[in-house]
Structure 1
Amino acid sequence: MVFPPETEEYIRESIENSLGLPVSAKTLRLKLLASEDERRRLRDKIFLLQGLLSEADSRLEQYRAEASMNAQGLRRCIEEKEAVASGYADLVNHCAKLQEECTLYERDIEMLMESCDDLARENEELRVQLKGTSVTTLISEVESLTKDKEHLKINLDRAEEEVKVLFEENNILAEENKKLLNLLNRERHKHGSGGTHSASASAKRKRNSSPMVSFIEKAINFHSSDLSRQPLSPLQLNSPNSRMHKK
């Protein structure tokens, strides 16, 4: 196998160096160049790795920021989910209440339908009764009620007139009573004064007894006239019994 001369020279010098033989300046210069070249390559690689590391750091920060944002979004999602769950529970309770109210409304509707059926039956019965009742009967009832109204009006007018008469007669009786009381008081006063002047007193009593007797006679005549006066007209035409008899 044939190697290039530079390789053969490098191998030979490496063997000599390992054996402790002195190395030439050319070999040392070549090794220095090679080490510098290697150092440059390593430095370039370090720069490249540093760039990659900075890029990785920036990506890591970006990933951290995204993770923080995702965590916040996840937290918000959890809170929204809890709110939705509580709202769903409230909706379930409200739905149950609405179902109960619907049940009550259905019962009320059933009761209303039953009452409507009852009213319809009553209406039909009334229609049948109205059909059975003749128009002449209704007209006669209306005429009877009109007559009762007229009789009531007449009786009320008569009662008002009789009340006025009674009021006037009561006033007259009050005046007569006052006069009688005054005469009685005078007679008592005269009787209480003594019997010294018997002749003159007896004559005066005879003269004074005549007006007293006249007042008493007027009162008696007044009472007899009251007794002979007609009473109030009876309201029998307006009584329910009279209507029953009429029908």
Structure 2
Amino acid sequence: MEGSQETDHYIRESAEQSSGLPVPRSTLELKLQCSEQALLALRAQYLCLRSKLNEKDQIIERARAESCMNATAMKKFVEENQRLAKECSNLLSQCKKLERECSLYENDREALMDFGNEADQRAKTAENRIRELEIEVENLSEDLQFHNRHLAQKEAQMIEAINTQCCCSGG
């Protein structure tokens, strides 16, 4: 309540001063004291706001750095995805080519079985080649499945990173 009485006293004396009456020294000292307190309060408020501004600037700078890192990671992810997609496409093309080749060898084997000893030897050779190609097709199929799983994992990781980013940015 003391501050309220000082304010009332200050207002009263300010009214007296504006009416042309002589202003007592205590009034002037009170005005000076109020001004100094207001200045200190403003200075403290300024320092507080300045500190908050610096904190916000740091947060913005960290967000920019994180955004830059995320953009770089996203670019690498996209490049890796494109590379894997191209590799998968090549493997699929190879598989189809090998399947056609297997089919041709299968047809050749059937035709060669009609011949005598020489035809029998040719058929055995073709069967060996077919086995090699089937193993290669199986290996390529496994590679394709591996790359598809790897691609799915990468996508899941990226989605999780984006979700984490969104959750962190929103908070």
Q: Shorter-chain TM-score: what band?
A: 0.5 to 0.7
Give the equivalent residue in structure 1 for 2:142: none
Alpha carbons 2:10, 2:30 under 8 Å: kept: no
Structure 1 residue 94 and structure 2 residue 94: aligned? yes
Q: Deviations over 1:188-221 (max 9, x none)?
A: xxxxxxxxxxxxxxxxxxxxxxxxxxxxxxxxxx
C-alpha distance in structure 2 between counterparts of 1:100 and 1:12, whole Å = 106
Give the equivalent residue in structure 2 for 1:143: none
Alignment of 1:1-247 (within 5 A): 5-115=5-115
C-alpha distance in structure 1 between counterparts of 2:29 and 2:50, whole Å = 31
Aligned-pair CA distance for 1:69: 0.8
Larger RCO (CA within 8 A; separation ≥ 6): 1
Aligned-pair CA distance for 1:114: 4.9
Aligned-pair CA distance for 1:107: 1.2
Q: Give the superposed CA RMSD.
A: 2.5
C-alpha distance in structure 2 between counterparts of 1:89 and 1:108, whole Å = 29
Alpha carbons 2:13, 2:27 under 8 Å: kept: yes
Alpha carbons 2:10, 2:31 under 8 Å: kept: no
C-alpha distance in structure 2 between counterparts of 1:88 and 1:34, whole Å = 78
Unaligned 5+ runs, structure 1: 120-247
Change (3 A) 1:95 1:18: farther
Change (3 A) 1:21 1:112: farther
With structure 1 as the length reference, what TM-score do the two structures score? Answer: 0.41
Q: Deviations over 1:166-208 (max 9, x none)?
A: xxxxxxxxxxxxxxxxxxxxxxxxxxxxxxxxxxxxxxxxxxx
Instruction: Give, as a single letter, the amino acid of the residue that structure 1 aligns with 2:15.
Output: I
With structure 2 as the length reference, what TM-score do the two structures score? Answer: 0.57
SS in 2 for 1:107: helix
C-alpha distance in structure 2 between counterparts of 1:6 and 1:38, whole Å = 14
Unaligned 5+ runs, structure 2: 120-171
